Chains A and B, each alone.
Chain A
């Protein structure tokens, strides 16, 4: 059974600081997603990582994938308040389009 685990589940940080969210998954997958969810809203797609060693960056967020370690990271650089949200990683189950989600990491950036 594919399991996806994120840590930390809650992260409170000061503006300007850096931090990393980790996403571990239990079985082989070639497709890993990162999403952002604001309260009461649906998911916003941030990154899709398709191969080992893939790194993608958008603004203050950078995601990477290590398929051998079954680990993805979402790194936040110089956090700003607007990044406050819940972040989910999700793994495609056998490249079927069915996604298994991590528990989510709620990020709170304080001024």
Chain B
């Protein structure tokens, strides 16, 4: 089991450029999440998905779009990158959203994005 994988690991963008971050999980989890991590601000939820073909907004969704065309993949897109989007992005997945016995979130290794 690879768990949760993310590509790329690092990326530098210029303001206005676009990119897509890919998250893949091999645990057959229904729920997937995208977070950003900034110093002193913990982990903030950008978007999440409760199943294939569904997405929902989290705490800080502006400037990002997501898609979940396949159960195992969750894509995060930046259409027009801004310096404020410089951050470390983490993808996570879980088996359940409501059953606490299966709620543990498994995180990927992260993508460090710099927007100049």
Q: Do A and B come from one complex?
A: no
Measured CB to CB, the residues of A under 8 A from B are none
